[in-house]
A = this chain, B = another copy of it.
Amino acid sequence: MFRRLFAPTIEVSAHCDLPCGVYDPAQARIEAQSVLEICKKVEGNDDPDFRTRAIIIKEQRSELVKHHLWVLWTDYFKPPHFEKYPELHTLVNEATKLAGASGTKGALDAGKAQELLDKIDEIDRIFKETKQG
């Protein structure tokens, strides 16, 4: 899925508040992928200290997912985008919630992490359409 989404059309795009104009959902996706791998690794490891470390790092990576998605929502997407994609607010809100207490922060659950990745893919699809539009 990721290969299909990112492969033929990748556009590295801006993300700082100058703004530099470079934004890229890949930033959120890499962190979410990390969360997914953490969940998988814990499944096969019953060392309690390892589990503690996994939770610490999953907490940080989930926060980074939230941050990168918030930046897209506030800094990249403009009113015309929200008009054209009326589901966009809800989509980003749900994605960020999926990286929080009711999602990947709250559970060591690969299923939740995959849900988060799928939501990011949905945002990415809209993002790519707006880059071409």
Contact = CB atoms under 8 A, between A and B. Distances in A.
B89 A93 contact: yes
A107 B60 CA distance: 20
Copy tally for this chain in the complex stands at 6
Contacts of A55: 49, 52-53, 56
11 contacts: A6-B7, A14-B37, A15-B34, A17-B59, A18-B57, A49-B55, A66-B74, A70-B96, A73-B96, A74-B96, A82-B89
Interface of A: 1-3, 5-10, 12, 14-22, 24-27, 29-30, 33-35, 37-38, 41, 49-57, 59-61, 63, 66, 70, 73-75, 82, 89-90, 93, 96-97, 100-101, 105-108, 117-118, 121, 124-125, 127-129
